[in-house]
Amino acid sequence: MKANLMFSDRDFDPTSQLCYASDTLASDLELRHVIEKMSNGDKVIADVSYAALFMPLESISDIKYRQENLRDALRSPAHVRRLYDLLDETAQIQKKSNHFLSSSVSLGDSLNSAVGLLRIFADTLGNLRKFADEGIKAFASAGFKNLFKMLQTELDDAFLNEVKNQLKELKSQDEMLISARLGAGNQSTGYTLRRQQHKTFLSRFKMAATYTVKDDDTRGIADIESRRDRAVNETVSVLTQAVRYLEDFFTMLRHELAFYVGCLNLADFLTTTGAPYSFPELLPPEREHRSWNNLYDLSLVILRGESVTGNELVADNKRLFIVTGANNGGKSTFMRSFGQAVVMAQCGMFVGAEEFTAPVKLGIFTHFKKEEDSTMKSGKLDEEMERMSEITDRLRKYSIVIFNEAFASTNEREGSEIHRQIVKALIENDVEVFSVSHLYTFAHAFSGEPLTQFLRAQRLEDGGRSFKVLPGEPLETAFGEDIYTELFGPQH
């Protein structure tokens, strides 16, 4: 049985390899705040959400498949949450019972434990079938409809009744019927667990040869238990395989549902704050078009608990975006909002914007300024160059690199030239670049280039900050005197 809620043709494995430098990406774009809000303290949802975000999809059809499933979940959130809760409760019971299936307990105890677990799992299967019957009409996406159809087909009434009957017979009871035959040297062999005979009232009194082991006959009791274990060995093996199979199925389904429940949690929070969200339109990797409306920093909304200023842009045939402008004007916040949208869009999620259109990227990388680190073995510029080298080793055509104050650890002239040469090489090889920089010489070097879009953090006439980032050519000043005046007053 396959869930196929994350992919149309395969399972989602949250332990698969993540994209390069996923921890750096999460830190630079402050996506951990997003994951925390998605999880609401549920570790499974946190782990699955992290894996989904940092295994970016590169196929538009895969992204649309997941988007449609998420739209369905947003239309019927209660049904999805109840389904996840059912699997979560089953997982907690499973955790407590699993040690009884270990090799350290007797086969008799393992038999009873396996039967007990399977009875619980049978109830879960029955409830899954009920969910499928209820949800088949309420859901329209291919993922959820196929899941419910599969559950209805595989878990039909005949199958569920047969499972219950078989487990009823296997349930622990006072009597166990086993058979054996004589082998070489008159040794007993071929021990087999038999189905119970359903005796009538009269047949119980039919005379038959019997032997009763006394309570104090420890050797006799051990011998009987040994014969019983030999008889139930194969049955325990089959039942244990059934338990493991169902555990794997429940775990897989729980993981795939966890992503959608995490998205529901985030959507609920954004709705309460009045912050908009939307499903992005994804374009082929070779398209050079970007547009967004009211794009904002999700992590900032989460930290403040209220909506924040967003940005707008429409840009065609641009491969390089350079963001300059006033200090404390919202440049880094804007870049985080953009990076968050890129990552979230490519895992099939909604994004923090009223509208967002962008090409799919075949690799997402960040190169942000790092704080001083006492563990560094070389200078900051060397460290920046080393990180850049690791990124270039992994770049592909139609990747994207997001810079934030890169190569600012040296002087203006040297930092500008290093950054210019790197950026020029990237865009010449069809790599898209976004760069926040206060290096005027670097920014000015691309003035007049048709592939370049300049953006600038807005400064109001009175020196205030609107925290809007608008199209605008770079200026030679970052208006640091505004901050000085705000701190020390105009008289100084």
With CA atoms as reference, report the closest residue to 475 among 439, 448, 451.
439
φ and ψ of 97, to 5 deg: -100, -15
Place of tokens 């009434």: 157
pLDDT the model gives residue 236: 79
113 in Cβ contact with 121 (< 8 Å): no
φ and ψ of 385, to 5 deg: -65, -35
394 in Cβ contact with 291 (< 8 Å): no
Laid out side by side, the sheet with 400-404 consists of: 364-368, 400-404, 432-436, 320-325, 452-459, 465-471
With CA atoms as reference, report the closest residue to 326 among 448, 186, 486.
486
Class of residue 325 by CB neighbours under 10 A (exposed 0-12, middle 13-18, buried 19+): buried
* Bridge partner list, 359: 283
> What is the distance of C-alpha 312 from the center of its chain?
29
Laid out side by side, the sheet with 289-295 consists of: 281-283, 355-359, 289-295, 311-316
> What is the distance of C-alpha 458 from the center of its chain?
36
Element (H, E) at 324: strand 320-325
3-state helix, strand, coil in the chain (%, to 5): 50, 15, 35
Structure tokens at 478: 């970052």
pLDDT tens by residue, the chain, 492 residues: 888 999 999 999 999 999 999 999 999 999 999 999 999 999 999 999 999 999 999 999 999 999 999 999 999 999 999 999 999 999 888 777 655 555 555 666 777 778 888 888 899 999 999 999 988 888 999 999 999 999 999 999 999 888 888 888 777 555 667 777 787 876 777 667 776 665 555 555 555 566 777 878 788 777 777 776 766 777 778 888 888 899 999 999 999 999 999 999 999 999 999 999 999 999 999 999 999 999 999 999 999 999 998 999 999 999 999 999 988 888 999 999 999 999 999 999 999 999 999 999 999 999 998 875 555 555 788 999 999 999 999 999 999 999 999 898 888 899 999 999 999 999 999 999 999 998 999 999 999 999 999 999 987 776 667 789 999 998 875 444 544 555 556 665
How big is the chain, counted in residues?
492
